[in-house]
Amino acid sequence: AEVIIVPSAEAAGSLVADEIVSLIAAQPNAVLGLATGSTPLPVYRALSERRDEMDLSKVSGFALDEYVGLPASHPESYRSVITREVVEPLGLNPEFVHVPNGALESISHAGDDYEAAIADAGGIDLQILGIGTDGHIGFNEPGSSFASRTRVKTLTEQTRRDNARFFDSEDDVPMHCITQGLGTIQRARHIVLLAFGAGKARAVAGAVEGPLTASLPGSSLQLHVRATVIVDEAAAAELR
Ligand code: F6R
């Protein structure tokens, strides 16, 4: 991967926003892969400040993941988060922005449905990624197959603890999620992984320089022909 060290998360946000602005200028029907969590927020903020420079009417988006069994209307469902942080501030067409369906009734086919929707859209042009402290990307926790497609996974204790800040307590964090697989992510034409802060340094080093291993799902990016890793100094601290 190409590694870019930036002074701040804000600097990373404007760098990625530049990339997206030029992508959309070249390709008005671009398909964006959208991460949730704290990391991509500076990108979405920078993009919303530049929304007058772009025609976003044909842009579509695919979220990485969703909690299983949390109503879509729950404020912390990734459907709600994507609506609040991306669709509304950017003025995207909500019909073009997809989130895996975490409803229990349709969970048996939700993964295949999502893969089909991505294929119908022509595949993801630019995938924004964060990384978990345990090296997960999307919700592909350690042990995930490099070939995996969108499917249901169990969240690790570590991830539920990390995400407890969005809920009243750790017990309220769902146990299961539906996530794009490592194989799904691998097929995006350009991957941009962002990480900020010392808590991510080990995961970043493992993803960029460590052995290819399912124990650190982010290491699968080493197989990608066009992966860009944008980190601040603290998250870069364990790179050689
Ligand atoms: C979010 C996602 C996760 C997060 C990761 C880091 O859609 O799939 O992989 O990117 O858990 O989360 P933050 O950015 O909150 O540190």
Atom of ligand 1 nearest to the CA of 35: 7
Answer yes or no: 65 catalytic.
yes
Strand order in the sheet with 151-154: 65-67, 176-179, 151-154
pLDDT band at 4 (very low <50, low <70, confident <90, very high): very high
* pLDDT (average), residues 62-68: 98
CATH code (residue 143): 3.40.50.1360
State which of 34, 62, 64 you would mutate to test the pocket of ligand 1, scoring each by most atoms of that ligand within 8 A of its C-beta: 64
Say if CB 118 and CB 102 are below 8 A apart: no
Give 131-188 pLDDT, tens digit per residue.
999 999 999 999 999 999 999 999 999 999 999 999 999 999 999 999 999 999 999 9
Considering its fold, how many domains does the chain have in total? 1
**Structural domain of residue 186, as residue ranges?**
2-236
Atom of ligand 1 nearest to the CA of 34: 7
Could you tell me if the ipTM is greater than 0.95?
yes
CA distances from 43 to 128, 130, 153, 193 (A): 9, 12, 27, 12
Answer yes or no: 209 catalytic.
no
Give 91-145 pLDDT, tens digit per residue.
999 999 999 999 999 999 999 999 999 999 999 999 999 999 999 999 999 999 9
Answer yes or no: 134 catalytic.
yes
Ligand 1 atom 4 nearest Cα:
130
What DSSP designation does 156 have? P
111 lines ligand 1 (CB under 6 A): no
Res 72: pLDDT: 92
